[in-house]
Structure 1
Amino acid sequence: MNITKEQIDDLNAVVKVAITKEDYQDKVDTILKDYKKQANIPGFRKGQVPMGLIKKQYGKAVLVDEVNKLLQDNLNKYLTEEKLDVLGNPLPKQQDNFDWDQDELAFEFELGLAPDFEVSLKTKKAITQYKIVADDKMVNEQVERIQKQYGKLVSKDEVSKNDEVSGTFVNEAEEIDSKTMIETDKLKSKKALDALKGKKIGDEVTLKTKGLFKEDHMLSSALGIDQQKAEALDIEVTFTISEINEREAAELNQELFDKLFGPDSVKSEKELKERIKEDSEKQFEQQADQKLLNDVTEYFIENTKFELPTGFLTKWIQMTGEEPLSEEQAAEEYAKSEKGLRYQLIEGKIIRDNELQVQFDELKEFSKGFIRSQMAQFGQLDPKEEELDTIAARVLGNQDEVKRLSEQLMSQKLLNLYKEKANLKTKEVTYENFVKEVYG
């Protein structure tokens, strides 16, 4: 077998493979002998079928199969040994009326080659790194929510401004009959609030659905209908009151602090606010980091210039998809995927140049960090190391989880690299202003 490469240009090449009978004949003969032993053909005893008949019936199929195996194995080996960085997979050149009876079989494969380029981590333009802070307003609101959540319900005779009112929404025409609880301070409609004030258990109130709540998603939940229907709904519903309660705020005492954070972790209202601020800003940091990662990614895509073997990649998409595509369809698919491909190449270059790797011990500790966070959400604030090791071993026994966690850990390594080497400018904002700036 002889394999040679013809360089077309920097991004395209053709690999030529010449296969002779000596490369495959022994293997083909062995397989046909096995076929002869097992063949059941009418008119012949098992194992006594003439080899000429076996070759006539099965020879060409066995030959084609063995040659294709040789091509695949040796082509992959050649690409590895020559250290050719190919995009997609080699594409066989079409050969009409191919003669499989030749003494030497010649094949050609088109290659699309990855471009050679450099990535400068020291970005010319300063990229904003947001530091999101929890201001006093946010912390105080969170304290109020905690007091309300852990407060106790006190039964009342009539509705006032800040009550929890249980009842049933009904509209026969829309087939609405939903038992629910509404908080009067979540009502957006002043008319609805005025209509409810002073009402007692058993009273019926007619309310308009449009603009009823401050948050749109609350209407679908209250009426027991899907969100899409709720968004378009503009009708009147009756609300029959079955229960009225006022939630008395919980005291900010040691019992509440222990319930929230464990025994003696927080010992005063001041420490509570500090803890809320710290925990909130940790959560905000994840969002700010994701924003930074996205922005650096976009910068590299826009500012790292290199050519791609567009013609080859378009043909590769056309020929290797699940469904056959026209040239126009393949070009459209390529246009959609080009940006992602560019970043894959850029990211791979950054990883290689900076020798970033994911070691198993790192991955194990990374997974334990996730497990620890999840357990904390369910009140397990201090899990034993043995328990974390056991759960991590189970998680890392799943290849899909290993892939997912490895990608997340590599993203974290890239983020740390960007923070260290990219040209960043820090901007301190409240969460409210961060949302306005980033999401509009």
Structure 2
Amino acid sequence: MNITKNEIDALNASLHITIEPSDYEEKFKDELNKYRGKASLKGFRKGKTPIATIKKMYGKAILAETINNILGETLNTYLTEEKIETLGQPIPTEDTEVTHFDVKNLGDYKFDFDLGIAPQFEVAGMDDGIEKKVVEVAEESVTEEFELARKRFGGEIFPEDDIEDNDLLTLSAVELDGDKVKKKGWETGFQILVKDLEDSVKEEVLKLKKGGKFKFNIRSVEKDKDEKHVNKYLLNLDEDEEKEIGDMFEGTIDKVSRISPAEINQEFFDKYTGQEGAETSEEEIRAKIRANIEEHYNTQTKNLMFKEIMDHLMEANKIELPNAFLKRWLKLSNENATDEVIEAEFEAFSQNLKWNLIKSKLEAKYEIEVLPEDIKEGFKKRIAGYFGGNPQGIDLDQMAESMMKNQEQFRQVFEEEKAEKLFQAISADMNIVENPISLDEFKELVKKVNEEAA
């Protein structure tokens, strides 16, 4: 076996590999005999086909596979032993000729490959300062969440003397002819939220009570609903049913349903925390709500900070890549990729590759390791998030272990936990400066970042 490396520049190299008969002849014979043992050809018993016949019929394909296997092993072994860090995979040089395999005359086979060499660099920018936004939670936000919690754990009541914006109305309605009920007109019944009523109708309804009547255009009474919705849910028509029905109806309020906020007592505290006696006062519940809100926004501000760290390190490390090689490799690796597609997407691809190079350096520096228990905790955090951070009656361990069997989800959580560990290590090394920001300012900032990303 003869291997020659030619260094073109710091990012490009070529390999010339010569495979001689002594490298493959015995392996080729072994493969022929293996095939002979399995072959079942007409006129011969299984395993008794003459080797010359096997060689004549299948020798070229077997030789090609043997050479290619040896070539692949040789490439991998050489790159590993020589500690050559490559990008992508070795690819045949552009002037490589088609190899013709000759089973009658076993000779030398020569192969030439281009290599894209990973750039050598030390990560710069680690001594600089990075800003982390800290959202200041206003008391109004705590109160709003507190009242929502009371409604969430409250009960349903049916008031008869007034109507409020969040009430659900049960209506019976009849078609009108002018100002009067239409003879043999359409009759229907449906439920509708007061807050979803068209503004002028809502203004009128809020002055009524159970048993009250009001006139409305059934095709516009509910905001932002199309004809299909009106026919199905308000007129109660079958999908293929066609009727000539007018616009104007008179509705009677048969029932008013309202969620009554939970009483501020120990029962409410226990329902909110999911634990009996964990909190015993409104002040403690408010403190827990504040902590939950702060944790929610802390996660988001941390993600923003991580993006700033990523952008900062990308800016601080001007990494050069073997672009021409990578474009050729992308085209050879993706049979449907055209030159136009590769050019259009190459900038995003190269930026992602550069960040992965920086990330790999830092993962090695900080010895980032993701253990099975880290992944399990990651799944448990996901599950808790599904239930608003308060999963009552759920066996988190059992559910996490079940979800971990999904390979795609396992991979996602593994990458998330690895990224979290990496950024925690980076944050501990860098100079993080906290900057207080109001919730409104933070929402505007997130909106701007999302728009830029889009």
TM-score by length of 1: 0.81
* 2:332 counterpart residue number: 319
* 2:260 counterpart residue number: 248
Quick one: which amino acid aligns to residue 294 of structure 1? K
Q: Could you tell me whether the CA contact under 8 Å between 1:5 and 1:16 is conserved in 2?
A: yes
Do structure 1's residue 338 and structure 2's residue 350 form an aligned pair?
Answer: yes
Q: Measure the CA separation in 1 of the matches of 2:172 and 2:78.
A: 72
Call closer, same or farther: CA 1:374–1:194 in 2, change over 3 Å: closer
Quick one: which amino acid aligns to residue 32 of structure 2? L
Call closer, same or farther: CA 1:42–1:372 in 2, change over 3 Å: closer
Do structure 1's residue 400 and structure 2's residue 413 form an aligned pair?
Answer: no
Please state whether the residue corresponding to 1:243 is helix, strand or coil.
strand
Q: Measure the CA separation in 2 of the matches of 1:422 and 1:223.
A: 61
Call closer, same or farther: CA 1:57–1:187 in 2, change over 3 Å: closer
* 1:113 counterpart residue number: 117
Moved more, 111-120 or 67-76: 111-120
Q: Measure the CA separation in 1 of the matches of 2:316 and 2:231.
A: 51
* Pairwise CA distance, 1:404: 2.3
Do structure 1's residue 421 and structure 2's residue 433 form an aligned pair?
Answer: no
Q: Measure the CA separation in 2 of the matches of 1:348 and 1:221.
A: 53
* Pairwise CA distance, 1:134: 2.1
Q: How does 1:163-202 map to 2 (within 5 A)?
A: 163-167=166-170, 179-182=190-193, 184=194, 186=195, 190-197=199-206, 198=208, 200-201=210-211
Do structure 1's residue 264 and structure 2's residue 277 form an aligned pair?
Answer: yes
Call closer, same or farther: CA 1:163–1:297 in 2, change over 3 Å: closer
* 1:412 counterpart residue number: 420
Q: Report Cα offsets for 1:10-47 as digits up to 9, x if no partner.
A: 11111121101111111222222344455444555655
Please state whether the residue corresponding to 2:120 is helix, strand or coil.
coil
Q: Could you tell me whether the CA contact under 8 Å between 1:196 and 1:205 is conserved in 2?
A: no
Q: Could you tell me whether the CA contact under 8 Å between 1:192 and 1:207 is conserved in 2?
A: no
Quick one: which amino acid aligns to residue 148 of structure 1? K
Call closer, same or farther: CA 1:35–1:416 in 2, change over 3 Å: closer
Do structure 1's residue 206 and structure 2's residue 219 form an aligned pair?
Answer: no
Q: Measure the CA separation in 1 of the matches of 2:28 and 2:248.
A: 80
Call closer, same or farther: CA 1:252–1:224 in 2, change over 3 Å: farther
Q: Could you tell me whether the CA contact under 8 Å between 1:3 and 1:15 is conserved in 2?
A: yes
Q: Could you tell me whether the CA contact under 8 Å between 2:17 and 2:112 is conserved in 1?
A: yes
Call closer, same or farther: CA 1:157–1:373 in 2, change over 3 Å: closer
Q: How does 1:133-172 map to 2 (within 5 A)?
A: 133-157=136-160, 160-167=163-170
Q: Could you tell me whether the CA contact under 8 Å between 2:125 and 2:317 is conserved in 1?
A: no
* 2:99 counterpart residue number: 98
Quick one: which amino acid aligns to residue 7 of structure 1? E
Q: Measure the CA separation in 2 of the matches of 1:188 and 1:202.
A: 16
Please state whether the residue corresponding to 2:69 is helix, strand or coil.
helix
Aligned residues: percent identity?
Answer: 27
* 2:451 counterpart residue number: none
Q: Measure the CA separation in 2 of the matches of 1:394 and 1:251.
A: 38
Q: Measure the CA separation in 1 of the matches of 2:172 and 2:447.
A: 35
Q: Measure the CA separation in 1 of the matches of 2:291 and 2:326.
A: 49
Which runs of 5 or more structure 2 residues have no equivalent in the other structure?
176-187, 234-246, 449-454
Q: Measure the CA separation in 2 of the matches of 1:250 and 1:55.
A: 85
* Pairwise CA distance, 1:351: 1.1
Call closer, same or farther: CA 1:164–1:20 in 2, change over 3 Å: same
Q: Measure the CA separation in 1 of the matches of 2:250 and 2:42.
A: 84
* 1:228 counterpart residue number: none
Do structure 1's residue 61 and structure 2's residue 68 form an aligned pair?
Answer: no
Call closer, same or farther: CA 1:237–1:85 in 2, change over 3 Å: farther
Call closer, same or farther: CA 1:358–1:196 in 2, change over 3 Å: same
Call closer, same or farther: CA 1:345–1:56 in 2, change over 3 Å: same
Q: Report Cα offsets for 1:104-156 as digits up to 9, x if no partner.
A: 111011111111122234354x4320112321000111122223333343323
Q: Report Cα offsets for 1:207-242 as digits up to 9, x if no partner.
A: 6988976xx89x9999989xxxxxxxxxx8969444
Q: Could you tell me whether the CA contact under 8 Å between 1:168 and 1:239 is conserved in 2?
A: no
Q: How large is the RMSD of aligned CA atoms in angstroms?
A: 3.6
Call closer, same or farther: CA 1:10–1:212 in 2, change over 3 Å: farther
Please state whether the residue corresponding to 1:377 is helix, strand or coil.
coil
Q: Measure the CA separation in 2 of the matches of 1:128 and 1:292.
A: 7
Q: Quick one: which of 317, 324, 327 aligns to 1:304?
A: 317
Q: Could you tell me whether the CA contact under 8 Å between 2:172 and 2:254 is conserved in 1?
A: no
Please state whether the residue corresponding to 2:133 is helix, strand or coil.
strand
Q: How many pairs does the alignment contain?
A: 415
Which runs of 5 or more structure 1 residues have no equivalent in the other structure?
226-235
